[in-house]
Structure 1
Amino acid sequence: MFGAICSGQPVQLATEVDNLKYTIEFKELPSSISFITIFMLPNIQFDLNYTALIYFKAGPDPEFKLLGGLGIEKQSAIYRINQKPVNRNDGLSSSSNNNMVDDIDMDTDNTGATQEVIIGISIETNQAAEFILQQSKLNNNNNNAVNKTKLLTSYANNSVNANSNTILQNQQLANKIIENCYNYLSSFDDGTGKVPIAKFNEWWKKFMIKLKNNPKLLSSSDSDLL
């Protein structure tokens, strides 16, 4: 009832393993293969009230992943089975039912090795198939949302930590400058807690000259700025 083909490989026909359940096996499929075409065989009787859900499993991965569905209105599809960039000018992006690409990125190796690939096909009622397809899309969207949330949370935490570090550094720098200024001016205290403003101007002038001569002065561990 179903067949599959990919570049450089002979056509593989589906084997019925249970009622309305089929598998197609590629024992040693090169990992460099980018696309695989699943299609209904010609002149078969397929109930328009049913959809054939297409699943995919590669290598030692025990989990089948849902790729899409076939039916009377869409009797074949080309599925992407690795992360190689898609050339949109290669004719594979046609919107016709018989030449349709479902861009599903699967985690396959692209090192030139071979692996076993199994296509699972389950015939379901249209209502059940639509529900399963929608759930799959929802799960994918949720996973993407979770990943984005984690990324934003990480970014926010890093920003908070960076801001906290900046605030702490600014506080330490301010304390360092004020302490140095206080120590300098206190030596000119007239006994009543008063210091001539000229002495502050003198400190400021010396401080700016030393800072100009040594741009790393404020980052120095030396508490004596003058």
Structure 2
Amino acid sequence: MFGVIISGRPVLTEPQAISPTQFAFNLPAAPAFNHIVVFLLPGTQLPPDTAASVYVQIPPAPDFRFLGAVANEKQSAIFKVDGLEQVAQAAAAQGGAAQVPAVTLGISIEPLAQVGAAMQAKQAEKEAATFQNRGNGGNGSMELVKAGAAATAATNPEAVKLLAQRIIGNAFNFLASFSGNAGPGGVEVVPLKAFQDWWQKFGKKIEMDPSFLVREEQN
């Protein structure tokens, strides 16, 4: 059903079938690679209202990381894979290529709604990381928020929605006192510095007490 292409290696078209909807490719981590192509083999048609989610598990981490998906409407995709250089270097230091562990590429046929939620969560996490690096110098103050959102996104999109609503509410309550009127029409505006101040204070609160958003909602 699926094929995999890594630059400089033979095309792989015979995954291990874990279940009727789950498949796995075992890929040597060396030589290291940064991108991987996953595609549907000619004649393959996924069931209606489904897509094929693509995951990667890089030793020594036990968990699978969501990369993206392919579907009947988009039968191939290129995914960026980070972290393999460190794996190859560590294995080489311990005894050469024979010690290099295999990377597992997992493909799972899942409902479109579930795949869509995972895609949105991945994009939101990427945008949050970009904003964080620009807004506070990349000091990691929002790691707990991002980790919590990523962990629940694929299985419980409602929890992610609720978390987003609480963050927005916290921002609104803080920024409301800084609003003022500007321009001929008296448009209500908030200074950019006020938003930057909220972002820094919010990050510090998360570091000190990740559960404060829950208590605010209960109060």
* 1: CA distance, partners of 2:128 / 2:3: 32
1:37 aligns with 2:37: yes
1:44-102 CA distance string (max 9 Å, x none): 23224111111112231222221111001111112222xxxxxxxxxxxxxxxxxxxxx
1:76 aligns with 2:76: yes
Task: Name the structure where helix makes up a greater proportion of residues.
Answer: 2
Once the two structures are superposed, the pairs formed by residues 164-175 of structure 1 within 5 Å of their partners are none
Q: Summarize the Cα distance change of 1:140–1:63 in structure 2 as closer, same or farther, 3 Å threshold.
A: farther
Structure 1 residue runs of 4 or more that deviate by more than 6 Å after TM superposition: none
Structure 2 counterpart of 1:108: 84
Q: Tell me the CA shift for residue 120 of structure 1.
A: 0.9
* 2: CA distance, partners of 1:54 / 1:71: 11
Q: Summarize the Cα distance change of 1:152–1:124 in structure 2 as closer, same or farther, 3 Å threshold.
A: closer
* 2: CA distance, partners of 1:64 / 1:7: 22
Q: Summarize the Cα distance change of 1:145–1:122 in structure 2 as closer, same or farther, 3 Å threshold.
A: same
Provide structure 2 residue ranges, at least 5 long, that are not aligned to the other structure: 93-99, 141-219
Task: Decide whether the 8 Å contact of 1:5 with 1:37 is kept in 2.
Answer: yes
* 1: CA distance, partners of 2:138 / 2:6: 40
Q: Summarize the Cα distance change of 1:49–1:116 in structure 2 as closer, same or farther, 3 Å threshold.
A: same
Structure 2 counterpart of 1:16: 17
* 1: CA distance, partners of 2:60 / 2:20: 26
Structure 2 counterpart of 1:134: 120
* 1: CA distance, partners of 2:138 / 2:62: 32
Alignment match of 1:117 (pick from 80, 85, 103): 103
Task: Decide whether the 8 Å contact of 2:51 with 2:115 is kept in 1.
Answer: yes
Task: Decide whether the 8 Å contact of 2:34 with 2:84 is kept in 1.
Answer: no
Q: Summarize the Cα distance change of 1:44–1:152 in structure 2 as closer, same or farther, 3 Å threshold.
A: closer
- Indicate the RMSD between aligned Cα atoms, in angstroms: 2.6
Alignment length (residue pairs)? 129
SS of aligned partner of 2:45 = coil
Give percent identity, aligned residues only. Answer: 27
Q: Summarize the Cα distance change of 1:57–1:31 in structure 2 as closer, same or farther, 3 Å threshold.
A: farther
Task: Decide whether the 8 Å contact of 1:31 with 1:115 is kept in 2.
Answer: no
Structure 2 counterpart of 1:217: none
Q: Summarize the Cα distance change of 1:58–1:153 in structure 2 as closer, same or farther, 3 Å threshold.
A: closer
1:108-133 CA distance string (max 9 Å, x none): 21667544111111111112211111
Paired AA for residue 21 in structure 1: Q
SS of aligned partner of 2:137 = helix
Structure 2 counterpart of 1:95: none
* 1: CA distance, partners of 2:135 / 2:31: 32
